[in-house]
Amino acid sequence: MKAAIVTIGDEILIGQVVDTNSSYIAKALDKIGIATHEMLSISDDKQHILDTLNALQNNVDVVIVTGGLGPTKDDITKKTFCEYFDDELIENETVLLHVKSIIEGIYKRPITQINRDQALVPTKAKVLFNQVGTAPGMWMEKENTVFISLPGVPYEMKCLVDNEVIPNLVQKFKRPYIVHQTIMTYGRGESMLAEQIENWEDNLPDFIKLAYLPSPGKVRLRLTARGDNEEVLKNEIARQVEKLDLLIHDVIVGYNEDEPIEVVLGRLLAEKGLTIATAESCTGGKIASTLSAVSGASKYFKGSVVSYATQVKNEVLEIPNLLIEKNGVVSAEVAEAMVTSVQKIMASDFAIATTGNAGPTKGDEDAELGTVFIGIATPNEVFVEEFNFGQPREKVIDRAVSKALELIYKEILKK
């Protein structure tokens, strides 16, 4: 089965709003065995919408449209749907009562005609009840394609997808099974990884496909199996993961795309009753932000010193100015002093420190652009590693964060 996802809105096309709806919908469809064939973003233009619906009809099984269901004049999806399906709008009593309960009951103001118009739906549409908003979803069918229209507001869209769209699709269609398994790896580039597992990849069953999903400092390996027997798919995926683990066990940090290294790292620290702190210069607090974004991080994350300025290194981390003048702020000696100091200040078991030249200009430092020193402190030792992550600036910072988390993860595993 194939689906197309269409987002409507000029605000998306000019980059004012980021389209997160398509990603959410695609994941939800994938879980029930419907593959997303394409994603489109189109303008708030009647003819553009009509042309898009016409082009997709009978080429995919399901078209899910988000946006254009608001109460203002620029929201034209309902009227355009009526034209496409040769239909007309009528007031839906159930929707109207719901709109009234929100406007009059929650917002404590009289309902207006614009609010009342939210209850207008095409006569041929199956209404999808929107529990958290005033714009209902619409389900319409034409020849071999189901067309579903949803509001563009993310929390309303999510509620409708979870409670209305997915259950109705499951009921209507007989679908194949799709089983995914993501393997999270850190510290080895895509090309080196591919070379190392080439023979394993070449011998995968025909119904299992492998995708490489690289990003700075890490590569996700996604296995996808499709077929009619879910148990067979799951068993074969598990068997292949076991084989893969024998080949690259040293760089695997997890088996769940929703569990990046900071989640795995946090769970490991919590289980072992250990704590961590950071002192950051070139990464500007991004390591601390990454660690603290994990639910429950207060159990193991002590805190951070973002010592971007030399003065902070002197006064807060108590690094002698003489050490900085002698070696430069971007140096192994300063990274070692930073990580040792923050470990002591925070009374943590482990600590991370970064100092580097992320660019885009070299400034007064002798260190080449992209140079980063990462200091690691454990209960037993302190060490520093030097890297050059190239350019641009964003790449240097992202790779420094990934490498720091990788290094500390490996040390914590030893405990």
Helix, strand, coil share of the chain (percent; to 5): 45, 25, 30
Summarised one tens digit per residue, pLDDT across range 336-350 is: 999 999 999 999 999
Alpha helices in 250-354 (DSSP H): 261-272, 286-292, 310-315, 321-327, 332-346
pLDDT of res. 364 = 62
Query: What is the pTM (predicted TM-score) of this model?
Result: 0.69
Q: What is the CATH T-level fold of the domain 261-413, as seen in this structure? A: Maf protein (3.90.950)
Give the chain's residues under pLDDT 70: 363-365
CATH of region 2-172, choose from 3.20.20.60, 3.40.980.10, 3.10.105.10, 3.50.50.60: 3.40.980.10
How far is it, in rounded angstroms, from Cα 306 to Cα 313?
9
> Which tokens go with 340?
């040792």
Residue 359, helix vs strand vs coil: coil
What are the residue ranges spanned by the domains of the chain? 2-172, 177-254, 261-413
pLDDT of res. 320 = 96
How far is it, in rounded angstroms, from Cα 168 to Cα 251?
42
Summarised one tens digit per residue, pLDDT across range 265-312 is: 999 999 999 999 999 999 999 999 999 999 999 999 999 999 999 999
The CA–CA distances, whole Å, from 396 to 295, 318, 380 equal 27, 27, 29
> Which tokens go with 314?
């002197």
Q: CA-based angle 44:45:51, to the nearest 5?
A: 120
pLDDT of res. 366 = 75
* DSSP line for 373-399: EEEEE-SS-EEEEEEE--S-HHHHHHH
Q: Provide the 8-state DSSP code for 45.
A: -
pLDDT of res. 362 = 74
> Which tokens go with 163?
């409670």
CATH of region 177-254, choose from 3.30.70.2860, 3.30.465.10, 3.90.1170.40, 1.10.510.10: 3.30.70.2860
